[in-house]
Amino acid sequence: MPTQVDTLLHARWVIPVDLERSILEHHSVAINQGKIIAIMPSDQAKQTYQGHQELELDNHALMPGLINAHGHAAMSLFRGLADDLPLMTWLEKHIWPAEGQWVSPDFVRDGTRLAIAEMLQSGTTCFSDMYFYPDVCAEVASEHKVRAQVCCPILDFPTPWASNAEEGIHKAIEVHADFRHNPLINIAFGPHAPYTVSDEPLKKIASYREELQIPVQMHVHETAFEVTEAEKNGPRPIARLEQLGLLGPDFQAVHVTQVNDEDRKILAKYQVNVVHCPESNLKLASGFCPVHELQQAGINVALGTDGAASNNDLDMFGEMQNAAQLAKAVSGNAAALPAYEAIAMATINGARALGIDDVTGSLEIGKAADIIALDLDQLTALPVYNPVSQLVYTRMADKVQHVWVNGEQLVKDKQLTQFDTDQLKQKAREWGAKILAGERND
């Protein structure tokens, strides 16, 4: 008799994102108690297993859920608030004033829910967030059963969450203690950037990072202006972070658009993870991350969307496409970052950057069943010569039909199972009206 399992998925293609970069045709994935217990040809799977839920996905590709390795989820409520501006003008004249006026626990709660819903519907099952009230973000992610790394923001100056860097570090340690046993949530230090955090707080973060085994995520070398200003009074930011003892395999450097040979050597030496945010970098004219050069140096490069205020969406399939095409243009090499490697950036590389590659990021026996199913029987995806090519070079977010996290289905036939979408829309409209009225009153 076949063995009973919770879920059995029979797919036209399975893209496991394994070391061999396999494409498995007419294969099935068996899921039990939240984990993948088998991946095998469908004919064999039907003889071996019987699922309480069993789906015939004849025109679908199964792949690992996407990992958005950097973002600011609650900023979805600032989507489109200030466009077509350089980074520092955007921050200093628009975003920071808006945050000072509007950010609160309720703002973060509602904005994070909106972001998680958007990410799930477009295939993201794990996200890294750096924003105020990280405890609220972690609560919302846990409530809606998605995987998250929550980075506690640390800045020298007062923010809606902390009065200074010292308080930010203290509160980060408290949040870490509160969520340390939550299987879906990891807490990280989130010093904002080298130009907003001074040496002493960074030294303390380095010490606590080692003592408590807490990773660190930071915006680093985001713009040429940032690097030029740093060099006026001292070393380049990456060299400064090395001197302060902050770099290591648990350090996640976000953006990294300005890199010279010495920077690249330091990143490789300390096995630093880079998180590439191509669409945000393009929109803010921040520069181009040299992905091909970094990968050639053995540096792990993951993908993120950044916040919806500077993107303006949280579509990781769009990031894959832009990352692949930019890598070719920047390197002058059409073979740079082939399609399967772009998928790896959005899955297993992201898991590695977040330190959870033993749990998720690929479809392997024993890993969590974080899986998405995409319907490729659509006009914009046909004909299918190579499903990996379609997943990267054609827009795919609207083709996500099913999503599972830990074996639990969170999107079914494109519909969210954990959210009241009408309520989400109403909350977003209410915040938009308040923020717009506030801006007009100013």
Cross-strand pairs, 408: 405
Question: How is the chain split into domains, by residue range?
Answer: 3-64+367-406, 68-354
Which one is the CATH code of 68-354: 3.20.20.140, 3.40.50.300, 3.40.309.10, 3.40.50.150? Answer: 3.20.20.140
Answer whether residue 87 shows pLDDT above 90: no
Give pLDDT tens digits for 210-250.
Answer: 999 999 999 999 999 999 999 998 999 999 999 999 999 99
Tokens 């899955």 locate to 347
List the beta bridge partners of residue 9. 29, 55
Sort 429 into a burial class: Cβ within 10 Å, 0-12 / 13-18 / 19+.
exposed
What stretches of 97-184 adopt beta strand conformation (E)? 124-130, 147-154
Using the 8-state DSSP alphabet, how is residue 155 labeled?
Answer: -
Exposure b/e, 140-163, CB count within 10 A at least 16 = b: bbbebbbbbbbbbbbbbeebbbbe
pLDDT at 441: 58
| 8 Å CB contact between 51 and 8 | yes
Q: What is the pLDDT of residue 231?
A: 96
Q: How confident is the model over 32-56, as a mean pLDDT?
A: 98
- What b/e sequence results for 271-306 when a residue is b if at least 16 CB atoms lie within 10 Å of its CB, and e otherwise? ebbbbbbbbbbebbebbbbbbbbbbeeebbbbbbbb
Taking alpha carbons only, the member of 146, 83, 84 closest to residue 118 is: 146
Out of 82-91, 119-128, 249-258, 340-349, pick the least confident.
82-91
Same fold flag, 3-64+367-406 and 68-354: no
pLDDT in tens, 287-310: 999 999 999 999 999 999 999 999
Examine the pLDDT at 91 and tell me if it is beyond 90.
no
With cut-offs at 50, 70 and 90, classify the pLDDT of residue 439: low
Domain 3-64+367-406 fold is: Urease, subunit C; domain 1 (2.30.40)
pLDDT of residue 274: 98
Amino acid symbol at 60: H
How much is the mean pLDDT over the chain?
96
Distance CA(11)–CA(36), nearest Å, equals 15
Per-residue pLDDT of 158-177, as tens digits, reads 999 999 999 999 999 999 99
Q: What is the mean pLDDT of residues 6-22?
A: 98
Tens-digit pLDDT profile for residues 122-161: 999 999 999 999 999 999 999 999 999 999 999 999 999 9
C-alpha to C-alpha distance for 195 and 226, rounded to whole angstroms: 7
